[in-house]
């Protein structure tokens, strides 16, 4: 039997979010241009959220790239980029 660990994602929290900014930028990668979607969400503070977590938005996975606390544990601005295939 194969005992290799399998990475899975489990829900941490379901929260309301507002979009602060959204952009798509094109970068030259390897043999051509690729687009990268970046979104900044504003949410209520979630204590155990880390950059190792992901956001699911309209069925697409996004990796957390930056988090900024708003006030004293009142809210968070989180910057995410669309996860690769």
Long-range contacts of 6-9 (CB under 8 A, 24+ apart): 9/54, 9/61
pLDDT tens digits for 32-56?
666 678 899 999 999 999 999 999 9
pTM: 0.75
pLDDT band at 1 (very low <50, low <70, confident <90, very high): low
What does DSSP assign to residue 84? P
- Higher model confidence: residue 28 or residue 41? 41
pLDDT for the residue numbered 34: 63
- Estimate to the nearest angstrom the gap between the alpha carbon of 11 and the chain centroid: 13
**Which tokens in the block code for residue 64?**
């957390």
From CA 63, how far away is CA 54, in angstroms rounded?
Answer: 5
pLDDT tens digits for 59-80?
999 999 999 999 998 999 999 9
């Amino acid at each position: 039997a194969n005992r290799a660990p399998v990475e899975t994602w489990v829900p941490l929290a379901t929260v309301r979010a507002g979009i602060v900014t959204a952009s798509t930028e094109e970068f030259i990668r390897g043999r051509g241009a690729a687009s990268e979607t970046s979104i900044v969400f504003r949410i209520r503070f979630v204590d155990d959220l880390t950059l190792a977590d992901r956001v699911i938005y309209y069925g697409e996975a996004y990796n957390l790239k930056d988090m900024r606390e708003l006030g004293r544990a009142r809210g968070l601005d989180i910057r995410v980029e669309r996860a690769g295939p």
